[in-house]
């Protein structure tokens, strides 16, 4: 399993996203290193198809697929938790479901 | 950059309501935007505070570079207010970013409380956790209550938390 965290320094949420991701990988008994990819400019954002920070991909698939019209740029992602609240990081249960699907 | 006790910078900015708005104390100036999840998560709590303190002027100011962040364009701001329909404060556009620079805004949101004499009395986050709506902008409300009671603000500064202001 390949696990990537793509992040941009303009959003302060990536440490929380990484901590949640690593915790869930441990809890699910998955031995996978998280590759951290810093997105530093718009050209790189377009090349990496980066919809915002943080973005988590498992085996190349975004765990919360963005819409087709989502621009690729240096921005912060807006996630929805399962209870409807807005969040800078994905719902942990969405992360867990993605890990389980890929395991 | 404006420090606690300093006179807050005056401003006159256009808003989504088609009016120009100038700083009038006592006031709460909130640098915010459309695209940042922290600003969005705290928005309802800040709007509730604006409703609960009718004697205080609240201003939401979006200073972000709309070329790199089109969701923060003036048009997008107007569309958002029209869609949401119940903003208790004007939503102002700081196209030149001069107001944000004068205040020293760092993030969205970044909250500044200004007294009736124009002096800065609080600067920072609305409350300790963007994820916990029950906190109800407690740091902001604490500062407002103390200021309006003529007291010193016990916690005049906290670290603003959110997305960095998108400078040109």
Q: Supply the range of the domain harboring residue B152.
A: 35-164
**Displacement of CA B148 from its chain's centroid (Å):** 18
Residue A76 touches partner B, C-beta closer than 8 Å: yes
Which residues contact residue B131 at a Cβ distance below 8 angstroms, ignoring those fewer than 6 apart?
A: A85, A87, B41
Task: Provide the β-strand partners of residue B74.
Answer: none
Structural domain includes residue B158? yes
User: Is position B70 within any domain?
Assistant: yes
ipTM of the complex: 0.86
A78 touches chain B (CB under 8 A): yes
Nearest chain A residue to B34 by CA: give it: A78
Number of domains chain B contains: 1
Contact in structure between B136 and B44 (CB atoms under 8 Å):
no
Out of B68, B131, B163, closest to residue A11 by CB: B163
Number of neighbouring beta carbons within 10 Å of residue B153: 19
Cβ contact B68–A42 (<8 Å): yes
Residue-wise pLDDT tens digits, A41-87: 999 999 999 999 999 999 999 999 998 778 888 999 999 999 999 99
How many angstroms separate the CA atoms of B69 and B33, rounded? 10
Give bridge partners of residue B91 from the DSSP assignment: B60
Q: Could you tell me which residues come within 8 angstroms of residue B12 by beta carbon, excluding any fewer than 6 positions away?
A: B20, B21, B22
Is the Cβ pair B68, A87 closer than 8 Å?
A: no
pLDDT tens digits, residue range B107-165? 999 999 999 999 999 999 999 999 999 999 999 999 999 999 999 999 999 999 999 99
Distance from CA of B168 to the nearest CA of A (A): 13
């Amino acid at each position: 399993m390949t696990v990537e965290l793509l992040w941009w320094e303009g959003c302060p949420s990536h440490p929380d996203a990484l901590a949640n991701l690593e915790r869930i990988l441990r809890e699910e008994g998955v031995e996978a290193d998280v590759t951290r990819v810093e997105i530093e400019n718009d050209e790189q954002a377009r090349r990496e198809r980066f919809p915002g920070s943080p973005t988590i991909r498992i085996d190349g698939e975004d765990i919360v697929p963005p819409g087709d019209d989502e621009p690729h740029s240096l921005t912060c992602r807006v996630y929805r938790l399962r209870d409807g609240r807005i969040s800078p990081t994905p719902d942990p249960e969405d992360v867990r479901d993605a890990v389980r699907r890929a395991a | 950059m404006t420090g606690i006790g300093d006179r807050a910078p005056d401003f006159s900015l256009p808003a989504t309501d088609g009016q120009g708005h100038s700083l009038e104390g006592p006031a709460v100036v909130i640098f915010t935007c459309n695209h940042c999840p922290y600003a969005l998560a705290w928005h309802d709590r800040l709007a509730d505070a604006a409703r609960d303190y009718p004697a205080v002027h609240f201003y939401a100011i979006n200073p972000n570079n709309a070329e790199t962040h089109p969701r923060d364009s003036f048009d997008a701001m107007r569309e958002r207010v029209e869609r949401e329909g119940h903003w208790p404060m004007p939503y102002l556009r700081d196209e030149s970013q001069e107001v944000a620079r004068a205040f020293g805004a760092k993030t969205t949101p970044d909250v500044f409380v200004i007294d009736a004499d124009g002096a800065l009395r609080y600067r920072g986050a609305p409350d300790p956790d963007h994820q916990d709506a029950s906190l109800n902008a407690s740091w902001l409300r604490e500062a407002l209550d103390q200021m309006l009671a003529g007291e010193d603000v016990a916690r005049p500064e906290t670290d603003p938390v959110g997305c960095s202001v998108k400078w040109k």
